[in-house]
Amino acid sequence: MGISAWVWFAVAAVAAVGGAALLARDRAVRTSRNRERRRWAALRGWQFTETDNVLPTQWDGGALAYYGGGIARDVVAGSTFTADGRRRVYVYDLDNGGRVSAVIVAVQCRRKHEVVVELWLPSVPFEQEHMPELLGPVGQRYAFVSDLAKARALITPDLVDASEEVGPDVMVAWIEDGWVLAAAPVNANPSRLERLLRSLGEVADVVDPFEDDEPSDGGTAQLPPGRHGQ
């Protein structure tokens, strides 16, 4: 005996209602996050942009490689002080197909580094064949690097100490080009992001001390193109 048409209709109706409820919830979360991020930017005197398609393409490693890139949403751009001086920062939601995968936090260095260093929590189910070369444990994390020799010169006890302050809720922190970046959880609020910016600023101070002579690449690291102000 077959299932009557009204049963299929009821199942379809329930699914539609459930889908609409999920969309409404996601939209509410998105709106709340947008307002919160916008208020935070205004409080700090930073700039806010709802969407930026270019910004995530400036980096290839860490969470960008893990999630396969995406769109930057609710972007905050500004600068903050570290022990060695003022550095430019970006904070944005990494959106993959309408779903936020992580909050990307980036702090700029003066110089570009010739090696990518990714510091992953051991609990992350990463696919090793898609990662840079495994260097080994660095504090509580595992380091995957693009060049073993150059990475060993960069990973000092001071860097290990600074990276330990990033926090156990950050799946990966990494150094790429002229930036120090991290992937915070999607529910990270401005208070948590402020602390993470300070921690990344300490890492930047270690790998890019201002008291050094001229940057190794002969100039200041270039900012990603975009609509963000100075």
* 27 in a structural domain: no
At 142-157, the pLDDT tens digits run 999 999 999 999 999 9
Contact 78, 177 (CB under 8 A): no
Which residues, 6+ apart, have CB-to-CB distance to 86 below 8 Å? 79, 80
Q: Distance between CA atoms of 15 and 33, rounded to whole angstroms?
A: 27
Average pLDDT over residues 103-115: 94
Mean pLDDT is lowest, of 42-51, 163-172, 215-224, for 215-224
* 82 in a structural domain: yes
131 against 15, higher pLDDT: 131
Half-sphere exposure of 42 (CA within 13 A, CB side): 6
Computed over every residue of the chain, the mean pLDDT equals: 83
Look at residue 198 and tell me whether its pLDDT is greater than 90. Answer: yes
* 54 in a structural domain: yes
Tell me the residue type at 188. A
At 27 the pLDDT is 45
Where do runs of H (alpha helix) occur along the chain? 5-44, 62-67, 148-154, 157-164, 190-207
At 77-101, the pLDDT tens digits run 999 998 888 999 999 999 998 899 9
Provide the number of structural domains found in the chain: 1
Average pLDDT over residues 184-205: 96
At 125 the pLDDT is 81
Which tokens in the block code for residue 173? 């922190």
String of DSSP letters for 163-180 = HHTS-TT-SEEEEETTEE
The model's confidence at residue 172, banded by pLDDT at 50, 70 and 90, is very high
Q: Distance between CA atoms of 105 and 100, rounded to whole angstroms?
A: 14
Percent of the chain past pLDDT 70, that is, above it, reads 76
Cα→Cα distances 12→6, 16, 123, Å: 10, 6, 39
Cα→Cα distances 44→47, 89, 197, Å: 9, 12, 13
pTM: 0.79
* 217 in a structural domain: no
* 169 in a structural domain: yes
Q: Distance between CA atoms of 70 and 107, rounded to whole angstroms?
A: 19
Contact 73, 42 (CB under 8 A): no
Q: Give the distance, in angstroms, between the CA of residue 215 and the centroid of all CA atoms in the same chain.
A: 25
* 168 in a structural domain: yes
Q: Distance between CA atoms of 69 and 94, rounded to whole angstroms?
A: 8
Cα→Cα distances 10→19, 23, 71, 76, Å: 14, 20, 37, 45
Overall residue count recorded for the chain in this entry = 230
Look at residue 17 and tell me whether its pLDDT is greater than 50. Answer: no
Find the domain containing 171 and state its range: 46-207
At 212 the pLDDT is 55
For residue 95, the surrounding DSSP H or E stretch is strand 85-96
* 221 in a structural domain: no
* 66 in a structural domain: yes
Q: Distance between CA atoms of 151 and 181, rounded to whole angstroms?
A: 16
